[in-house]
């Protein structure tokens, strides 16, 4: 018997997959518990339509992310921070600070979860920051940390 899974089922498959199962398992366990539906032609058509819709949505998200990345990568970002004479910062630059800088400079919403920072920045200098945007779009930006004058 062929069924379409409505939920992820360990050792069987993921939601939306078409699987061949024994008649008893399908009729007595999966279907009554709402874990699957029988793979009729109408259900298969629904599944195809949902898959196409999901692919279009993912493509749109990926395209928007690529456009945003092009806009971000073109710019060189500068951040002023208080630092000692040795170049060590008083405090640290976090992904939140970088996201706020990008948001302010480009006048867009930018979430800190898109910034991949292995460790907080604690020294003055030039850095390449990796970004991971929705749709698995990756890129790098250049960031300069400059010391601000302290009186």
* 56 and 94 assigned to the same domain: no
- State residue 150's pLDDT score: 55
* 71 and 109 assigned to the same domain: yes
- State residue 10's pLDDT score: 94
Residue 6's φ and ψ, nearest 5 degrees, are -95, -15
Distances (CA, A) of 25 to 5, 40, 126: 13, 17, 60
- Given 29, 46, 61, the domain boundary residue is 61
Number of domains composing the chain: 2
| Paired residues of 80 in beta bridges | 146
- State residue 151's pLDDT score: 42
CATH of the domain at 50: 3.40.5.10
- State residue 87's pLDDT score: 84
Instruction: Give the length of the chain.
Output: 151
* 117 and 47 assigned to the same domain: no
Q: What is the pLDDT of residues 45-54, one digit of tens each?
A: 998 999 999 9
* 53 and 72 assigned to the same domain: no
Under-70 pLDDT residues of the chain: 149-151
- State residue 1's pLDDT score: 94
* 51 and 73 assigned to the same domain: no
């Amino acid at each position: 018997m062929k069924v379409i899974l409505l939920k992820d089922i360990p050792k069987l498959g993921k939601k939306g997959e078409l699987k061949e199962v024994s008649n008893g398992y399908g009729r007595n366990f999966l279907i009554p518990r709402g874990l699957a539906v029988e793979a009729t032609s109408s259900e298969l058509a629904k599944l195809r339509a949902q898959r196409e819709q999901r692919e279009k949505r993912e493509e749109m998200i990926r395209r928007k992310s690529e456009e945003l990345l092009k806009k971000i990568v073109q710019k060189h970002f500068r951040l002023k921070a208080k630092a000692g004479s040795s170049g060590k910062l008083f405090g640290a630059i976090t992904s939140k600070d970088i996201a706020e800088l990008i948001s302010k400079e480009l006048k867009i919403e930018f979430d800190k979860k898109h910034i991949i920072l292995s460790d907080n920045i604690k020294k003055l200098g030039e850095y390449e920051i990796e970004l991971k945007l929705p749709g698995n779009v990756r890129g790098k930006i250049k960031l300069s940390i400059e010391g601000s004058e302290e009186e």
